[in-house]
Structure 1
């Protein structure tokens, strides 16, 4: 259950009579109780800075500052030492505890859309930890997968979402053991022939793979609608075929002209799982540029995990119309964008100024869609011991700018590095680090999470999205 915010409202002042005139009472301690008379004191409070306290003091102007009440409590009796207690209510179901902040009024777009009759879309922009390393199943056991399943249980199944080609052996640099485990449970694409990673960060998921001869890529998705994304452009360019659940191959020509993202949509399927195989279909030396496949339904919540292992903030903010706009912006808009970038920036000594500038470029592209009506959640992952001392020093500068960036864009925040005490050892003792050879169980990876670690991350994100 979540904690709720109290204080700092228009009526949240302590007053006292002086010579028959009521005035505000600064610096007055306030305790909180279960009953208007006697009862039990609430002592599990958190100050605005997330520090555990047993009482709250009014500020120099007599106002009760913002604080978090006990878990699940939405109203309390306040006692400032006068003859009677006053009832105070939480401002709303805004989860807040150490490392988590949700601004008042946040989430109006997302909350309205998740309650509507159509499709509510979440886009996740991130790196390997958001892609799911080292969960046992990238689709279902990663923190993104756990959040998706919980939201779909509560608000309806909008389909499996976007399946990027970055989830394939042509792109991922994980161990052979990890790749084999993920391919066995269909959480990475199965490739035949020769596919190589494209050089540009185009399309949803900032990734495409390319083939110049017979090759296939097979994806497991769910939904009544399947969408296939490829990069079109100047000739010569190969077309492709698609088969669904072993059916007949359907040829698709690639549009010749300016470079763009071509989308092929297949409707009328059942809402269950489907196996989609894309095959190269061209003449010698003609190249197919494949971005990914998506499964969707017409209603419910769909979560598009566009994260790519190894990506830095600059990869999401290079100014090309096929880059940021297709990752939560005008080309591929969302109701909510969750952005978690910085781990690889720190490991590559990207300055705090450059990281902040890249993040701003990406977030402005997000806000360019829907006349700015896209909610944003910023997630600062635990860096563990990734990049060693230099990486932590760089990450420190990002963390220092994290809240300022959130304030500039009205974003909610989850700071997992702070929650993890900025300590690899602390999370190691909890079994939150993963095993790079055998995904799922606890291990000693420097930055990637186990199933338990991913479950913890999901537990910090989900209450914000369901409040």
Structure 2
């Protein structure tokens, strides 16, 4: 095959799965050396190799379940089959019944998709791992989610460190475990609740037990080796919420990227995966968008700020990057369209950071209608979870598989 010949389409593994192609994929020579080394170590049983997906609601709603039918979940399933089971990963408290800004009974009522609560909970700042957190002012309020792995726990944050009685938690109905003396990462803490478990599903129940101003970011489960894909996607996420304008200031530590695959919760492969909300209604100019993304990438590839050496946990560049742009669909319907301008500027970042670029829109000729005919879009607001319909931008199970297949061409290369 000549250099200019288009690659052949790969056969599909299942009915209704969009054919794989090289459309929309740019991978610089030399990309992936750190990720491939980590992936091989995961398969060899000497490391837990981590992929972080930092995206918007396209990465979470409205699949047939939230554990393995999102596109990050499907990527995890494929990688774990080849390189070892690293566990179920992170589940954001932002995906809790009563905490989402849309309403649809069929999707929201399904406990297999969302965490469940009792008592009173409210949204906290758009911060920490998963870009979302919730809080409760009512003692006895509970939050319940199942996670998978031999070690399980929660991410929590407090304003005043060292205060007792913030939360307690149980694992599989066992004794209550007090969560106290929290201080790490500007108040954000990855708390281990149990280890040495069987690699299966375990139920975590978090209970509000004290008066401290405390927040819950979510729950997690993992194994010591293999591969894990952490889904840090958030409904309504914008590129602006990355880490604060004063880069290097210790007060920015709790912002999303450093704790969602960046330096304080680091990954071997970081996938930046949002643009739709930025394009919707012209919310973010192309120049502002690329500046926001570049700030996010600095939090992934950070080097020591000269004025604050104690702040640094230098990754030494040992995180590979994919810049993924899901198809913005009818969220980018105004002229001039912004998503293509975002892509144009992303190539400059790709050269600067040695990143790969994956854009989904070319798979369907940049047409919402072509994608709709292929079953890519979800039913409106998930009225039939996982089903195909006419949503403006969110994807069905078919769409999630298409995104996973396109990204796996790079991730599994």
Band of TM-score, shorter chain:
0.7 to 0.9
Q: 1:358 aligns with which of 292, 295, 306?
A: 292
Q: CA deviation at 1:288?
A: 2.7
Q: 1:169 aligns with which of 87, 97, 119?
A: 97
- Using the alignment, how far apart are the partners of 1:171 and 1:388 within structure 2? 28
- Using the alignment, how far apart are the partners of 1:424 and 1:96 within structure 2? 19
* Pair 1:240 & 2:151 matched: no
Q: Where does 1:3-18 land on structure 2 (aligned, <5 Å)?
A: none
- Using the alignment, how far apart are the partners of 1:96 and 1:363 within structure 2? 27
- Using the alignment, how far apart are the partners of 1:218 and 1:438 within structure 2? 24
* Pair 1:393 & 2:337 matched: yes
Structure with higher strand content? 1
* Pair 1:322 & 2:266 matched: no
The answer for the alignment partner of 2:328 in structure 1 is 383
* Pair 1:289 & 2:218 matched: no
- Using the alignment, how far apart are the partners of 1:208 and 1:294 within structure 2? 14
Could you tell me whether the CA contact under 8 Å between 1:46 and 1:97 is conserved in 2?
Answer: no
Secondary structure in 2 aligned to 1:452?
A: helix
Secondary structure in 1 aligned to 2:385?
A: coil
The answer for the alignment partner of 2:50 in structure 1 is 121
Secondary structure in 2 aligned to 1:205?
A: helix
- Using the alignment, how far apart are the partners of 2:173 and 2:166 within structure 1? 19
Q: 2:318 aligns with which of 373, 397, 400?
A: 373
Structure with higher helix content? 2
The answer for the alignment partner of 1:13 in structure 2 is none
How big is the alpha-carbon RMSD for the aligned residues of Structure 1 and Structure 2? 2.2
The answer for the alignment partner of 1:463 in structure 2 is 409
Q: CA deviation at 1:255?
A: 3.0
Could you tell me whether the CA contact under 8 Å between 1:135 and 1:439 is conserved in 2?
Answer: yes
The answer for the alignment partner of 1:226 in structure 2 is 152
Q: TM-score by structure 1 length? A: 0.76
Could you tell me whether the CA contact under 8 Å between 2:47 and 2:224 is conserved in 1?
Answer: yes
Secondary structure in 1 aligned to 2:241?
A: helix
Could you tell me whether the CA contact under 8 Å between 1:237 and 1:288 is conserved in 2?
Answer: no
Pick closer, same or farther for the CA change 1:355–1:282 going to 2, 3 Å.
same
Q: CA deviation at 1:259?
A: 4.1
Could you tell me whether the CA contact under 8 Å between 1:99 and 1:414 is conserved in 2?
Answer: yes
Q: Where does 1:336-347 land on structure 2 (aligned, <5 Å)?
A: 336-347=269-280
Q: Where does 1:27-66 land on structure 2 (aligned, <5 Å)?
A: 47=4, 53=5
Q: CA deviation at 1:70?
A: 4.3
Could you tell me whether the CA contact under 8 Å between 1:433 and 1:453 is conserved in 2?
Answer: yes
Q: CA deviation at 1:256?
A: 6.7
- Using the alignment, how far apart are the partners of 2:340 and 2:7 within structure 1? 29
Q: CA deviation at 1:237?
A: 7.7
Q: CA deviation at 1:419?
A: 2.4
Task: Tell me how many residue pairs correspond in the alignment.
Answer: 376
- Using the alignment, how far apart are the partners of 2:271 and 2:167 within structure 1? 32
Structure 1 residues 390-424: Cα deviation after superposition (integer angstroms, max 9, x where no partner):
5x622232122122222221111111122222211
Secondary structure in 2 aligned to 1:379?
A: strand
Structure 1 residues 362-381: Cα deviation after superposition (integer angstroms, max 9, x where no partner):
01110124211100011111
Q: Which moved more, 1:212-221 or 1:163-172?
A: 163-172
- Using the alignment, how far apart are the partners of 1:422 and 1:222 within structure 2? 37
Could you tell me whether the CA contact under 8 Å between 2:151 and 2:195 is conserved in 1?
Answer: yes
Structure 1 residues 216-254: Cα deviation after superposition (integer angstroms, max 9, x where no partner):
111110001112111123277851111111112122224
- Using the alignment, how far apart are the partners of 1:115 and 1:341 within structure 2? 28
